[in-house]
Structure formats: C-alpha cells, structure tokens
Structure 1
Amino acid sequence: MTAFKTINLEPGFLTIVVGHATFCVVVVFNNVVARFRRTSWSLVEASMDLGANGWQTFRYVVLPNLASALLAGGMLAFALSFDEIIVTTFTAGHERTLPLWLLNQLGRPRDVPVTNVVALLVMLVTTLPILGAWWLTREGDTLAGNGK
C-alpha cells in the first residue's frame, strides 16, 4: 500500500490486479520452470536443424511443450487469487469483488437464495476443471500397452 500511495495510485481495480499478480506470478513461474527442466532439448535442436528460425521453434516446439504448465499455473493462480481475501481487502478500495461479496453475505446474509446460487456456481467453476483434467488423464482399456 505504501508503494501505491507513493505513486499516487488510489485503491481500485489496478491495485487489485497488481497485488494479486505479485504472488500469483510465482506459481506460474515455478510450473513453467519445472516443465522446462523436463523438456527434451533435442526437439529444439531438431527444429533448428530442420531449418526453423527462433520464432518458429518457439511457436511450434517450445510453446506446445509449455502449454500444460501454463494452463496448470494459470488454474492454480486463479484458485489462489480467488481465495486471497486479505490482499483483496487491502487493495480493493471501494471496488466490490466476488470473494468480498461472498464473505459479506456469509457473515450477514441478506439474500440467502442468491448467495446459495453464487456459492454453487463457484463450486461448479472450481470442480469442472478438476473433473476435466481427471477425464483427460484417466487410464482406460483403450490405451495400448496397459498390461491387461
């Protein structure tokens, strides 16, 4: 908050984004670095040997290999950001975000049916990507060499 006051930036949407980005970028960075360490650099060398320039190698070889790490990091960052009430409280100013609204409604419910529907939607938005990831990575009888 002191940095925001120093540059005369009033609390609002921009301060929320900057506040959440400062701790969420670490999660995405760690996922991408872990994926980089497991990447076979022979693919990059093969791409360059076959005549691809740096941009083509990045676009068609490196980026597809990092896509799963970027997606996982983004999902984790979203979950952490959505759960981080304290950062939102200090950086929001007069802005009303969904987590702050839910926190107020759970403390002193004014419109219980609306709160219940919003909570159910939040649970669905959280559960559906997990189920989708499970479905995409499940093992089945159709896989070759599954030992059956």
Structure 2
Amino acid sequence: MRFKRTRSGASLKLKIGAVAGLLFLHLPLLLIFLYAFTTEEKSYQFPPPDYTLKWFGVVWERQDIWDAFGLSLRIALIATGAAIVLGTLAAAAVARTRFFGREAVSLLIILPIALPGVVTGIALRSAFDIADIPFSFWTIVLGHATFCVVVVYNNAVARLRRTSPSLLEASLDLGANGFQTFRYVLLPNLATALLAGGMLAFALSFDEVIVTTFTAGQQTTLPIWMLSELVRPRQRPVTNVVAVFVVIITFLPILMAYYFTRGGEATAGHGK
C-alpha cells in the first residue's frame, strides 16, 4: 500500500505569533538604529522630526568614547584568550579522564554563567576586598574570564566527546609524539569549536556591564560609559550611535560562531 505525502503549512495564527515574537525581540534594536540619525538631542519623538549624520562625526571626535572602546576591546581579547586556554584544559580533563566527582566539577565550571550577574559581581568584589586586591584592569579581566571560560568549555567538551580516542592512539602508535598528536590530530578536530567558543566569549565580554560594575573601580568600559550617559543624558543620539557600533561588533562574532556551529549536534553552548 502506497501512502501519499502531504505538506501542511503553518497556520495563520502560528505565523502571526512568530512575526509578533520577532518584532518583540528586534523592534527595540531597530529603534536604536533609527534614533542614531535623529536631529532631536534630548527626547524620543516618533517619528523623528528630521534625520542627520552629524552624531557619527561627534562620536568620532569624542576621545572618552575611544578610550572606553579601547579598554573594552583589550579586556575582551585577554579574557577570551584566558578562557580558551583554561576552558580547553578543563574540557580535556573532564572528557578524557575518569575521576571521582567529575560531574560535580563539570557543574561547578558551568555554574558562573547560570548565576545572575549581580551574584557573580558581589562574590568577586567580596573576594577582591578580602584579598586586598585593588580594583583595576585585571580585576575586570578576571571577572569576565569567569563566564567566558564556560562558553569555551561547553564547546570544547562537546567536541572532545565526539572525537574518538582511537585517533589519538593511532597517532601515537604511528610514532608521533604528544605535541605532534595535539597539532595534527586533536587541534584540527577542536579548531572550529574553539573558534566558535572564543567568538562567543568575546561578544559576551565586550558588552558585559553587571560584573564590570562590581569589579571596575575607576575604569570605564564602553558599556559602563553608555550606562552613565543614559543616567545623565546630554546627547541621546550619541549614545544610540555607540550602541549601533556595539551591536555590530558583538553581532559579527556571534554570526560567525553560528556559522561554525549551525549543525547543532557538533558543538554545545551554541544557543547562548
């Protein structure tokens, strides 16, 4: 008996619900782009009375914005580098060895990204105060690394669990030493997972504001600068222009990470 396949499209209600959900998620972002071009300085009038590009020139000439941008960029790069090293080592230990409490260790590694940022920030601030560590550039890096490690770890441990140990054994049997096995066998299998995890970690670190607030001291990252500008608004379109650049800077690595993990089954943590 032969069965005829039928294709049923989504119902109208489901389509409307999907469109409404997408608008709810992305309409605020579109408004940021819109008000980056408005001529109105201190209020949000819809529709904007007129449009201009002058705020992009104002942002370009503001040294305080460039200083905050440079600080955020350096912190994100260093925190991402540390996360790649520590997350990969932790993933290798959990995925390739068996020891008592392995699952508990895995849970503790993942825990920082599951906790509210306020809790993580308070905990780090208390630890720095007890250890008498002054708040500086490095305290922000340490704070960001706590959750960046989780993203890299999730990606690396998933890839390691899918990589057959027999590949490493075969490499060693054929005369390769440990470094050669890592370079020619393990690293090519981990490369896309580490790249995706690193880009996600960079995006998370670059726009982090809650943990940074508790660990920055007198340092002003770009998200902290934006927050202070919103609290004491002078030129709202300037903040919107900076927000546009932040969206672009964080969207590109997330898009690339999605490209490398779009299969879904190859890498964990791709949905964060």
Which residue is 1:35 aligned to? 159
SS in 2 for 1:51: coil
Which residue is 1:48 aligned to? 172
1:49-88 matches, within 5 Å, as 49-88=173-212
Q: Partners of 1:2 and 1:137 in 2: how far apart?
A: 37
User: Does 2:226 correspond to 1:102?
Assistant: yes
Q: Partners of 1:34 and 1:136 in 2: how far apart?
A: 14
Q: Partners of 2:151 and 2:253 in 1: how far apart?
A: 18
- Checking the alignment, whether the CA contact within 8 Å between 2:152 and 2:198 is kept in structure 1 is yes
User: Does 2:120 correspond to 1:12?
Assistant: no
Q: Structure 1 residues 77, 63: closer, same or farther in 2, change over 3 A?
A: same
**How many residues are treated as equivalent by the alignment?**
138
Q: Partners of 1:83 and 1:98 in 2: how far apart?
A: 8
Q: Structure 1 residues 33, 137: closer, same or farther in 2, change over 3 A?
A: closer
Which residue is 2:50 aligned to? none
Q: Structure 1 residues 70, 88: closer, same or farther in 2, change over 3 A?
A: same
Q: TM-score scaled by structure 2?
A: 0.46
Q: CA deviation at 1:45?
A: 2.3
Q: TM-score scaled by structure 1?
A: 0.79
Between 86-95 and 121-130, the greater mean CA deviation after superposition = 121-130
User: Does 2:210 correspond to 1:89?
Assistant: no
SS in 1 for 2:181: helix
Task: Give unmatched runs, 5+ long, in structure 2.
Answer: 1-124, 263-272
SS in 1 for 2:135: coil
Structure ranking higher in helix proportion: 1
Task: Give unmatched runs, 5+ long, in structure 1.
Answer: 139-148
Q: Partners of 2:237 and 2:244 in 1: how far apart?
A: 11
Q: Partners of 1:11 and 1:109 in 2: how far apart?
A: 27
Q: Structure 1 residues 133, 79: closer, same or farther in 2, change over 3 A?
A: closer
User: Does 2:241 correspond to 1:127?
Assistant: no
Q: CA deviation at 1:54?
A: 0.6
Cα distance per residue 1:5-44 (max 9 Å; x no partner): 2222111111111111122212211211111001122322
Q: Partners of 1:135 and 1:78 in 2: how far apart?
A: 16
Which residue is 1:115 aligned to? 239
Structure of higher CA gyration radius: 2
